């Protein structure tokens, strides 16, 4: 769906003598490009160390190069990557598997055991069904597939191996997960149960005959578990010895013990030890039945034979709490945290989705609009952003508290207001803009810029009103103001972009086309490789040369600025954009005082699905975006549509 492709570096195949982290920092982490565009991959083969292929075996070598890039993306999700480990077997273990998948033109297949059932203890969770925790986790996994799809035309999928075989609650939880994935259009997430691995007769029920399947499953759950141990259990396995001697089993045991203790279970450590053999049998069943899958894991590990990842990333290098054993807290900075309910009951409010308790959100007046007669719901998006909807009817946008929207946008951008009336009335929209902030006036466009698809893609047109993709940017890169140095009194021209963007949407491109992308600075810094610390990046400056109607060179542009309200570090960046990507203005970007490889790293990460929201407009949407904490861009879209947005800039 995106049309920006910058795979131009020389791919690097991991070699034994090369530190894996160095390898990871040099490979593509998900720069979107059109399906089928792999030409640059083969172009980049020159100088690549020979892998398992013979010299001249370009096709096989290309498959291995692509496999290396795919594995680098998977590895970048791993907590081992975040812990900056110096050696890492899983990347090498799975290179032949993924190379074979790519050679056969198949999607890259991954398997993740987990999501057994929602714990029953109120000390851990809010209820028996999936909630915001599972929504975020599934979206995170879909994002991994999307990042792979951006560099490999046949894409990827993740099969979740539903581990629960313990009765009706586990069945209902699994079915609700399937429904959630379908509802949220997570097309690359699939599910299997243990009976699928065992080729148990029950697994063949038509999915439309769920009542019969459920009854059969419940009737045979005990025998399915017994069959697992009979076929894949290891009678000689000593769980206690394994816990003492194997770091991965020790970590898994510690997690089980901790959860059991929180459930007030008697002898949690002993019971946890009894769970280990079954975990081992599950692993054996997977290896026997799905040997050509890349194994993902929710348990921390040394990085051998599997990629351990956080389903809801928080602290770097930690898998954190699982969504089926925790609740989600939405914090004031817009971040998501998996917590135990009693950790946040004092500071956060319990939020329902319909009748279901769904997550906790930090207590704040910004979310309370009742004094204005408005009842609204806040939908928290992955990886960032909120959609605010009226609960019952379509009240006028005149009622919206724009000061609260403005404050919310500092941490929750983009803030989308959907389902309000009068949003297409220009005078009402402008009037509310005045409540949002100081409306800026531009020399060429005045206060309102009407971004209309002109259906003119000639050189004489304008890139913004064409259907071309745009570079990642902030608005106002040409807006400078005179500022006096407090010490020397010298007056300098200082970049002074508008603080906020304010949109209304009059017409959209067809569904699945014409996305607006929003890159979140907080998430950008969260997912930077460890060697690129904030301390290292804050002094970095860059230079931009533009040949468009502004035709200019700007030097000494800071890469990081502090947010005027939150003081959070914010990425200030404009994608390099050459004549191969546009008929209009080109932008050449040079890092002035750091490695030039930083350009590619930023380009990849700003489009990464962990960092960047792909937003799909609906007619009548209002949208407020913080132009300091967020970057944005737009994908291309069909020329034959009436896409139209109006935009105002504010301070
Ligand atoms: Fe823009």
Give tens-digit pLDDT for 265-286: 778 888 888 888 888 888 888 8
Q: How do residues 434-466 score in pLDDT, each as one tens digit?
A: 999 999 988 777 889 887 766 666 655 566 666
Please report the pLDDT score of residue 202 as a whole number.
Answer: 62
Question: pLDDT band for position 29 (50/70/90)?
Answer: very low
Domains defined for the chain, CATH in brackets? 105-326 (no CATH), 364-650 (3.60.130.10)
Residue 637 is predicted with a pLDDT of 67
pLDDT of residue 28: 32
Between 248 and 398, the more confident residue is 398
The pLDDT confidence band at residue 472, using thresholds 50, 70 and 90, is very high
- For residue 152, pLDDT beyond 90: yes
- Compare 222 and 70 and report the one with higher pLDDT: 70
The confidence band for 39, taking pLDDT boundaries of 50, 70 and 90, is very low
What backbone torsions phi and psi does residue 361 show, to the nearest 5 degrees?
-130, 140
Average pLDDT in the 235-239 region? 83
The percentage of residues in the chain with a pLDDT greater than 90, rounded to a whole number, is 53
pTM of the model: 0.87
Instruction: Specify the pLDDT at position 409.
Output: 98
Hey, what's the torsion of the CAs at 389, 410, 646, 614, to 10 degrees? -70
Ligand 1 centre and the CA of 505: distance in Å?
Answer: 15
pLDDT value for 514: 77
476 C-alpha to ligand 1 centroid (Å): 8
Residues 398 and 630 sit within 8 Å (Cβ to Cβ):
no
Of 33-37, 274-278, 331-335, 615-619, where does mean pLDDT reach its minimum?
33-37
The dihedral built from the CA positions of residue 214, 218, 220 and 223, taken in this order, carries a sign that is positive
Question: Taking residues 136-152, what's their average pLDDT?
Answer: 97
Residue 287 reports pLDDT greater than 60: yes
Range list of H helices, 497-549: 521-526, 534-537
- Token digits of residue 600: 């590619």
Chain-centroid distance, C-alpha 103: 28
Q: Which residue has the higher pLDDT, 276 or 618?
A: 618
**Separation of CA 2 and ligand 1 centre (Å):** 16
Does position 248 have pLDDT exceeding 60, yes or no?
yes
Q: What is the pLDDT of residues 292-351, one digit of tens each?
A: 999 999 988 776 788 999 999 988 889 999 999 999 999 999 999 999 999 999 999 999
Compute, in angstroms, the gap from residue 418 CA to the centroid of ligand 1.
21
b/e per residue, 338-370, with b = 16+ CB within 10 A?
A: bbbbeebeeebeebeeeeebbbbbbeeebbebe
Least confident of 134-148, 393-407, 449-463: 449-463
Contact 282, 52 (CB under 8 A): no
Higher pLDDT, 56 or 647: 647
Range picked from 18-22, 463-467, 532-536 for highest mean pLDDT = 532-536
Residue-averaged pLDDT of the chain: 84
Q: How many A from CA of 514 to the centre of ligand 1? A: 14
Place of tokens 């590895």: 75
Higher-scoring residue by pLDDT: 455, 120: 120
CA geometry: angle at 370 spanning 366 and 374, to 5°? 100
Residue 57: predicted pLDDT: 53
The Å distance, Cα 166 to ligand 1 centre, comes to 52
Cα 80 to averaged position of ligand 1 atoms, centre (Å):
37
Ligand 1 center to residue 536 CA distance, Å? 28
Q: Which residue has the tokens 């407009």?
A: 617
For 541-552, what is each residue's pLDDT tens digit?
999 998 866 668
Write the DSSP string, 159-228: EEEE---SSHHHHHHHHHHHHHHHHTT-TTEEEEEHHHHTT-GGGGS-TT-HHHHHHHHHHHHHHHHHHH
CA of 516 to the centre of ligand 1 (A): 10
Q: State the residue for tokens 């795979």.
A: 7
Sign of the C-alpha dihedral computed for residues 551, 552, 558 and 563 taken in this order:
negative
Q: Ligand 1 centre from 307 Cα, in Å?
A: 37
Contact between residue 81 and residue 75 where contact means Cβ atoms under 8 Å apart: yes
């Amino acid at each position: 769906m995106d049309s920006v492709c910058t795979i131009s570096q020389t791919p690097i195949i991991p070699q034994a003598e090369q530190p894996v982290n160095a390898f990871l920092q040099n490979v593509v982490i998900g720069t979107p490009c059109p399906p089928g565009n792999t030409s640059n991959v083969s172009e980049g083969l020159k100088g690549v160390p020979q892998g398992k292929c013979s010299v001249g075996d370009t096709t096989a070598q290309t498959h291995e190069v692509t496999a290396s890039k795919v594995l680098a993306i998977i590895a970048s999700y791993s907590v081992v990557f975040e812990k900056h480990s110096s050696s890492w077997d899983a990347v090498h273990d799975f290179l032949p598997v993924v190379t074979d998948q790519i050679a056969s033109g198949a999607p890259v297949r991954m398997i993740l055991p987990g999501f057994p059932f929602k714990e029953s203890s109120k000390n851990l969770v809010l209820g028996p069904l999936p909630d915001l925790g599972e929504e975020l986790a599934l979206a995170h996994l879909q994002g991994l597939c999307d990042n792979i799809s951006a560099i490999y035309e046949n894409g990827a999928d993740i099969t979740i191996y539903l581990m629960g075989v313990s009765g009706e609650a586990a069945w209902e939880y699994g079915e609700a997960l399937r429904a959630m994935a379908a509802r949220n259009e997570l097309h690359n997430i699939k599910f299997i149960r243990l009976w699928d691995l065992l080729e148990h007769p029950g697994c063949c029920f038509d999915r439309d005959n769920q009542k019969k399947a459920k009854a059969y499953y419940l009737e045979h759950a005990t025998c399915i578990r017994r069959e697992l141990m009979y076929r894949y259990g290891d009678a000689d396995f000593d769980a206690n010895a394994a816990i003492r001697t194997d770091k991965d089993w020790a970590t898994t045991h510690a997690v089980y013990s901790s959860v059991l203790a929180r459930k007030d279970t008697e002898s949690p450590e002993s019971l946890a030890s009894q769970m280990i053999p079954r975990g081992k049998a599950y692993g054996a069943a997977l290896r026997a039945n799905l040997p050509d899958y890349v194994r993902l894991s929710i348990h921390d590990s040394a990085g051998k034979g599997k990629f351990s990842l956080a389903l809801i990333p928080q602290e770097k290098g930690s898998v954190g709490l699982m969504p089926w054993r925790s609740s989600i807290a939405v914090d004031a900075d817009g971040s998501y945290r998996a917590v135990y309910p009693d950790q946040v009951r004092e500071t956060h409010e319990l939020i329902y989705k319909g009748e279901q308790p769904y997550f906790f959100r930090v207590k704040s007046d910004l979310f309370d609009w009742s004094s204005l007669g408005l009842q609204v719901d806040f939908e928290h998006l992955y990886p960032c952003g909120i959609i605010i909807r009226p609960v019952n009817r379509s009240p006028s946008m005149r009622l919206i508290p724009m000061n609260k929207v403005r404050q919310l946008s500092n941490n929750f951008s983009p803030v989308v207001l959907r389902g309000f009336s009068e949003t297409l009335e220009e005078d009402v929209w402008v009037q509310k803009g005045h409540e949002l902030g100081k409306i800026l006036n531009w020399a060429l466009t005045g206060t309102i810029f009407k971004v209309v698809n002109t259906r003119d893609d000639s050189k004489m047109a304008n890139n913004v009103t064409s259907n071309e993709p745009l570079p990642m940017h902030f608005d106002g890169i040409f807006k400078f103001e005179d500022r006096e140095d407090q010490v020397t009194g010298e007056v300098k021209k200082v970049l002074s972009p508008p603080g906020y963007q304010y949109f209304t949407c009059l017409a959209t491109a067809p569904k699945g086309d014409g996305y607006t992308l929003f890159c979140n600075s907080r998430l950008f810094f969260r997912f930077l490789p460890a060697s690129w610390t904030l301390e290292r990046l804050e002094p970095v400056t860059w230079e931009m040369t533009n040949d468009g109607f502004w035709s200019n060179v700007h030097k000494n542009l800071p890469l990081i600025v502090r947010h005027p309200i939150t003081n959070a570090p914010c990425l200030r960046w404009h994608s390099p954009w050459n004549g191969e990507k546009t008929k209009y203005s080109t932008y050449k970007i040079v890092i002035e005082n750091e490695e030039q490889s930083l350009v590619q790293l930023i380009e990849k990460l700003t489009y990464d699905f962990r960092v960047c929201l792909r937003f799909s407009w609906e007619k009548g949407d209002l949208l407020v975006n913080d132009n300091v904490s967020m970057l944005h861009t737009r994908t291309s879209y069909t020329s034959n549509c009436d896409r139209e947005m109006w935009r105002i800039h504010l301070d």
